[in-house]
Amino acid sequence: MANVILLGFGGAVCLVLVLLLVWGLTGYNKLVRQRNQVDAAWAQIDVQLKRRYDLIPNLVETAKGYLKHERQTLEAVIVARNQASTAAQRAAATPGDATAMRELAGAETTLGGALGRMFALAEAYPDLKSNTTMNQLSEELSSTENKVAFARQAYNDAVMAYNTGREIFPASIIAGATGFAEAQLWEIERAVEREAVKVSFA
Amino acid sequence: MDFFEEQERARSRTGWLIVLFSLAVCGTVMAVYAAMKLALQYAFDRPLFEQFWNGDLFWRVAANTVALIAAVSFFKIRALSASADSVVLGLGGRLIDPSTSDPHQRRLLNVVEEMAIASGAPVPAVYLLPDEPGINALAVGLDASRSAIAVTDGCLKLLTRDELQGVVAHEFSHLLNGDSRINLRLLGLVHGILVIGLIGSKLLRSLGRSSDSGSRRKVNLGGLGSIVFVGVALYLIGSIGVFFTRLIKAAICRQRELLADASGVQFTRNAAGLVGALKKIGRLDRGSRLVAPGAEEASHFYFSEGITHFTALMSTHPPLEQRIHLLDPSFQGELPRGQLQPVAVEEEIPGVAAAVQSERSFPVHPRAVIASVGALGDEHIAYAQSLVARIPERLRDSIREPSVARAVVLGLLLDRNPQTRAAQLSALLAIGDPQLADQVSSASGALRDCPAEARLPILNLALPALRRLSAAQYGELQAAVDRLVRADSRIGLFEYTLQRVLSRHLGAHFKPKLPDAGTSPQIQVVDAVSVLLSMLAYAGAAAPADAARAFEAARAELSPGRFRTTLLPREKCDLRVLDGALDRLADTAPRLRGEILGACAAAVATDGAVTIAEGELLRAIADSLGCPMPPLLPGQHVRAAGERRALG
């Protein structure tokens, strides 16, 4: 009978091991899901950022005719836009990557500042302020800004859930072993953000 | 095809499935026991079949095996319930960006949205399998609010709009008939048995590794041999178990495919589209086969056979020729093979822009309402197209963006009365997001150009975008909705409908419940029916006598003697009670739900007309009861007398 008891015991140990394995797998699947959510949330931002980067050259082109003596400011906007666009492409390759995200956040801050200066200048040109194309473009830009801000909030929530998820046992063991790197939040300084959104001509 | 009958059938099929599966598990247990016993006899050098029966050993083996299969199946089903989309993601699916400008993807999204509005089911998430050149599609879902449709790249590019519509209608029928849910459970159960085989192969592999590592200790050859034996045996048993469960899977699925074909044609009234799609599969060299490594596991989800089987018994779908022949008797069975050219897609012109006369109220009859559930027709699709066409283009495009969808939902709640409206807007400002109030009033400006009967479809169109909110953002949205609804200190019909739709279709998404974690409040079915019918009677009544009349009419629709429902006093009819009642009734048998829905329709229709708000409430109730109901058509005349055809 000893062998039977041994076998029963062995079976129980085996069962526990399998349950642990399944538990680990569930944790792994959850991490994958959360990681996917981070990627999906990033994709939302990415679409809006691209739209915004497409809008800005048109905006500058329209403003050029009026702001003849402000070439420097306009060029600064274009340069900042190109840098931000490159940074966004890099960030899209690996959403959540810390260096890429910080680079993008920095480039976006610069772009926001440059746009803010351009709109501040435009205040002094009544012709430009009444231009329909300019009004439409800036309206669209500000609505895109809002969408980016909203999508960024969703992205940060997803990152937060994912980062918490990968620190909780048993996922923490799996996360270390299978290369689930910590994702980076996209934080923006409040003051700059407010400046960037203020593009209304009304 | 009666929706409620199909639901009953789906339920009994689940029962059948469990019986068959239990048989497979019993067989597996016995096989494991035999293997264990033989291994023990071998290890202790006894004659192999001496004293073969050992009750003690058998129960241990049985308990362990069953516990193992149960645990694995449970975890798998739970994982699938948390996110039904994981099946699609496992096949390499990518969520189609709702604001995409790719004409093929745009067209697919439009077709799916039209079908959803026409059937009254929420718009599902739409996925693309970009690496699959064959023509195939699948629908996964636990319930109406957590469902997804995925199509292959070939399906997207090689089919015309009509053919695509046929395929989507077929998949919608799976969702509406509850097939997708059974399919998900099936996947979980099969996975449980599969694990036994996996353990066997792991055991063998680990053994191979440890002997490679050159341990020079004396190994008990008998012990080693028996471990090898157990490993091989487990592997074989697992494979045999999987073989049997695949047979079950195939047998259950094949008839459902024919039903889905028939319903698909019924939805679109256009057999040519579906036939065309099936013929293209037959003509395409690679047909409907999928290349993803996990394709076998999900084979029972597909539109058409996804993998090659060596026997027809294992096929999850009837032969292509048979399916075509059933829809098109003139088909001769010859499909020349070759390559297909991608279909050029023109700019999508939304809907038939024909002006549909807008009536303020719709005559309705209970029987007609019951018959319409889950069974849309081409007139519904045409109506959905015309509704969509009358939504301003800017709104239609931008509603696929989460921030806009949020603003639109809140905008739907803004009152026409300027005073209430001002109170609502200041309530929004108090939330502390200065842009929100602006966005909401501009959304409400765009909504003013929409016909009133488009309100519910607009809400439906907003759902996919709202699913992309983060949990925190969803919480904020709920709070904002609550503030707007409470701003005028009374809850209107539409306000209730909107909240109900939101909590039903997004609540499940953001806080997934376990499949059978029954948290429904302890309320008797009779009381729940009384609450529901009393609420409806009061909602449409101008005077107390009208309410009593409406209630009587509703009670007449219930089968006599089954319930003793009573008209509750008005103050007892609280919306929170109604929520509890609806949750309770959603758990009842499909046929009973059909009857209750008929009674609801009667209560709403006693005064001879159904206003838009009443119609919307009726559809929200149907939706809460798990019965997607197509929109009421303007001028839909259904005679009450002479049409009392018995149900079931």
Q: Where are the domains of chain B?
A: 3-85+183-260, 87-172+273-327, 378-509
Model confidence at B375, pLDDT cuts 50, 70, 90, reads low
Are the beta carbons of A129 and A123 closer than 8 angstroms?
A: yes
Using CB atoms, pick whichever of A22, A154, A197 lies closest to residue B402. A154
Q: Is B64 within 8 Å of A44 when comparing Cβ atoms?
A: no
Q: Tell me how far apart the terminal alpha carbons of chain B are, to the nearest angstrom.
A: 11
Three-state DSSP string of B194-243: HHHHHHHHHHHHHHHHHHHCCCCCCCCHHHHHHHHHHHHHHHHHHHHHHH
Question: What predicted TM-score, i.e. pTM, was given to this entire model?
Answer: 0.74
pLDDT of res. B565: 82
Q: Tokens in use for B129?
A: 């399998």
- Determine the Cα–Cα distance for residues B463 and B402; give it in Å rounded to an integer: 9
Task: Report the gap between the CA of A87 and the closest CA in chain B (Å).
Answer: 22
Q: Which residues contact B102 (CB under 8 A, 6 or more apart)?
A: none
Q: Catalytic: B171?
A: yes
Q: Please give the class, per CATH, of domain B87-172+273-327.
A: alpha beta
**Residue range A26-35: mean pLDDT, rounded:** 81
B125-129 β-sheet, strand order? B94-95, B125-129, B146-152, B137-143
A11 and B60: CB-CB below 8 Å? yes
- How confident is the model over B54-90, as pLDDT tens digits? 778 888 888 888 888 888 888 888 777 766 677 888 8
Angle at A95 between CA A92 and CA A99, to 5 degrees: 95
Residues 6 or more apart in contact with residue A143 via CB below 8 angstroms = none
* Number of DSSP helices (H) and strands (E) in chain B, helices first: 24, 6
Give me the interface pTM, i.e. the ipTM. Answer: 0.75
Do the bridges between strand B125-129 and strand B146-152 make them parallel or antiparallel, or are there none, so unpaired?
A: parallel
Q: What is the DSSP letter of B640?
A: S
State the smallest CA–CA distance between residue B405 and chain A in angstroms: 11
For residue B68, what is the nearest residue in chain A, using CA coordinates? A15
Q: Which residues in chain A have their CB less than 8 angstroms from residue B406's CB?
A: 150
**Assigned CATH topology for domain A39-197:** de novo design (two linked rop proteins) (1.20.1440)
Amino acid present at B185: R
Q: Do B71 and A146 touch (CB under 8 A)?
A: no
Write the CA distances from B385 to B64, B113, B548, integer angstroms: 56, 9, 39
Counting Cα atoms < 13 Å in the Cβ hemisphere of B539 gives: 31
Q: Minimal Cα distance from B82: which residue of A? A: A30
Nearest by CB to residue B75, choosing from A26, A43, A44, is A26
Cβ A4–B57 below 8 Å, yes or no? yes
Q: How many CB pairs under 8 A join A and B?
A: 81
Using a CB cutoff of 8 Å and minimum separation of 24, what contacts does A192-195 make? A192/A109, A192/A112, A192/A113, A193/A112, A193/A149, A195/A112, A195/A113, A195/A116
Average pLDDT over residues A42-62: 89
Check if the beta carbon of residue B347 is closer than 8 Å to that of residue B393. Answer: no
CA distance B640 to B645: 11
The domain limits of chain A are 39-197
Residue in B71, B95, B470 nearest the CB of A154: B470
Q: Which of B6, B171, B257, B305 is catalytic?
A: B171
Q: What pLDDT, on a 0 to 100 scale, did the predictor assign at position B217? A: 46
pLDDT, chain B, mean: 78
Q: Under an 8 A CB cutoff, do A47 and B473 touch?
A: no
For residue B578, the surrounding DSSP H or E stretch is helix B575-585
pLDDT of residue A86: 92
C-beta of residue B62 within 8 angstroms of C-beta of residue B29: yes
Neighbours of B560 (CB within 10 A): 7
Rounded distance between C-alpha atoms, residue A62 and residue A73, angstroms: 14
Q: In b/e form, how buried is each residue of A101-116, taking b as 16+ CB within 10 angstroms?
A: bebbbebbbbbbbbbb
pLDDT at B516: 44
Cβ atoms B470, A152 nearer than 8 A: no
Rg of chain A, C-alpha, whole Å: 25
Give B305-314 pLDDT, tens digit per residue.
887 766 666 7
Which chain A residues are closer than 8 Å to B469 by Cβ? 154
- pLDDT value, residue B210: 58
Contact A26 B79 (CB under 8 A): yes
Token digits of residue B481 = 């909705």
Which residues have C-beta within 8 Å of that of residue A174, sequence separation ≥ 6? A24, A27, A28, A31, A180
AA letter at B103: P
Percent of chain A exceeding pLDDT 70 equals 87
Contact B3, B259 (CB under 8 A): no
The pLDDT value recorded for residue A81 is 94
CA distance B199 to B234: 7
Residue B469 has pLDDT above 60, yes or no: yes
Whether the Cβ atoms of residue A171 and residue A27 lie closer than 8 Å to each other? yes
* CB-CB contact of B600 with B617 (8 Å): no
In this predicted model, what pLDDT tens digit does every residue of B504-519 receive, in sequence order? 888 877 776 544 444 5
**Which H helix or E strand runs over A93?**
helix A71-93
Q: Tell me the percentage of chain B whose pLDDT exceeds 90.
A: 6
Report helix, strand or coil for B363.
coil
Q: What six digits make up the tokens of B184?
A: 């998900």
Task: Give the separation between CA B264 and CA B173, rounded to whole angstroms.
Answer: 6
The residue in chain A having the minimum alpha-carbon distance to the alpha carbon of residue B54 is: A4
